[in-house]
Amino acid sequence: MSELVWILIEALIKAVVILTMILLAAATLVYFERRISAFIQNRYGPNRVGPFGLLQPFADVFKLFLKEDLVPKVADKRFHRLAPIISLGVTLAVYSVIPLSNYVNIDTGDTVRKVYFGIAPNVNIGFLFVLAMTSVGVYGITLAGWSSNNKYSLLGGLRSSAQMISYELSMGLSVIGVLLVSNYFTTSQNGNWTNTLSLNTIVMNQSGWKWNILLQPLGFIIFLVSAFAETNRAPFDLPEAEPELVGGFNTEYSGMKFGMFFLAEYGNMATSAALITLLFLGGWQLPFPSHWLGLAEGSVWLALAQFASFLLKIILLAIFFIWVRWSIPRFRYDQLMNLGWKIMLPLSLLNIVLTGIILLII
């Protein structure tokens, strides 16, 4: 069969598998959040639907689908419908550049194909695509807030978008440090891969314990805090500060339209955890040399082991996200903006300059 047919089949299978995985992951994260918050607050949490309450999120989704869909009469109907599509679509689309493991060799008869687990992990725009998509994600929230024609929604949407764009600056700047280090360790193998923005390259350059958390500790902290702010999670959950804003930008959404924002929120949490893992915690790299397992590069079992390592790091980070949310009180809005513009931004510039100087000296 021709090359193009293979690419199309591969793309179709991968898109279906990975989309299912993300939606399952978002549902599981909701379950985790409810159980862990219950544990922290000395309650039981959902434990009746299915074993340990594991089926609770699916029951919730079915319920949401059957709920009445309310749209206020004064709302701008077109944008009110568009906003949840943008939010969920962007969350799912970001996963296309995330590599879930190294390649697997698949024998197709006449040639051996290198198949990567991940939609397009080697696209050389990599992280730029992530930045672009998260910027589009701001539109979903702003439109939701504005189109509802409700004061709570408008305030929630404005706060949320201002917060997201403020922290996107320090997020983008902290990644430059990672790119500098990654570029320094680039070794081209038979001219196969040179340094690009592709997330797979960044992971490859972290092989052998050169994890960026050790080389870029300041960048890691900046990125972590920005990720919390980007996903609108506590201590930066001002957009949905219940005591002042009811529900924030999604006040006027009901049924599955609300559910879409909810899924997008938890999907974003999984994305942030995945990005932190890829950029700073070695991505799918195993925490020990891969030859210890005695498996050849390109074998299915090695790829599965790498995927398991990636998944474990993401789950630990997600638990950390939840733990923080239920332990730390919320910021005030001026504190939040001051932290973003007056502390994080100069710190991330300092990080770039320091990294550059150190790399030039050694």
Partner 1 sequence: MLTDYIPLIFMVVFGFGIGVVFLLAAEALGARRRTKEKASTYESGMPPVRTARERFSVKFYMVAVLFILFDIEIVFMYPWAVQFKELGSTAFVAMILFIVLLLAGYIYVIRKGALRWD
The closest alpha carbon to 125, from 184, 178, 189, 202, belongs to 202
- Residue 211 CA to residue 124 CA, distance in Å, equals 21
The single residue among 29, 30, 144, 197 that binds partner 1, judged by CB under 8 A, is 197
Check binding of 15 to partner 1 (CB under 8 A): yes
The single residue among 56, 101, 150, 206 that binds partner 1, judged by CB under 8 A, is 150
- Residue 230 CA to residue 90 CA, distance in Å, equals 14
Instruction: Give least dist CB 40 to partner 1, A.
Output: 29
Check binding of 68 to partner 1 (CB under 8 A): yes
The single residue among 21, 64, 311, 347 that binds partner 1, judged by CB under 8 A, is 64
| Nearest to partner 1 of 323, 333 (CB atom) | 333
Check binding of 222 to partner 1 (CB under 8 A): no
15 Cα distance to chain centroid: 17
Check binding of 79 to partner 1 (CB under 8 A): no
- Residue 310 CA to residue 121 CA, distance in Å, equals 14
Q: What is the torsional sign of CA 270, 273, 277, 281?
A: negative
DSSP letter (8 states) at residue 209: T
| Nearest to partner 1 of 102, 196 (CB atom) | 196
| Nearest to partner 1 of 5, 329 (CB atom) | 5
Check binding of 88 to partner 1 (CB under 8 A): yes
The single residue among 97, 104, 302, 322 that binds partner 1, judged by CB under 8 A, is 97
Using left for φ > 0, alpha for ψ between -120 and 50, and beta otherwise, residue 209 falls in: left
Check binding of 271 to partner 1 (CB under 8 A): no
The single residue among 26, 179, 278, 314 that binds partner 1, judged by CB under 8 A, is 179
Residues 98-137 that bind partner 1 (CB under 8 A): 119-120, 122-124, 128-129
Give yes or no for a cis peptide into 287 (omega within 30° of 0): no
Residues 331-350 that bind partner 1 (CB under 8 A): 333-334, 337-338, 341-342, 345-346, 349
Instruction: Give least dist CB 45 to partner 1, A.
Output: 26
- Residue 141 CA to residue 82 CA, distance in Å, equals 10
The single residue among 21, 324, 352, 354 that binds partner 1, judged by CB under 8 A, is 352
Q: Phi first, then psi: give them for residue 115, nearest 5 degrees.
A: -110, 125
CA angle 31, 36, 99 (to 5 degrees): 60
Q: Phi first, then psi: give them for residue 113, nearest 5 degrees.
A: -95, 140
Strand positions, DSSP E, the chain:
104-107, 112-115
Q: Between 238 and 267, how does the x/- string for binding to partner 1 read (CB under 8 A)? A: --------x----xx--xxx-xx-------
Interface with partner 1 (CB under 8 A), residue total 93
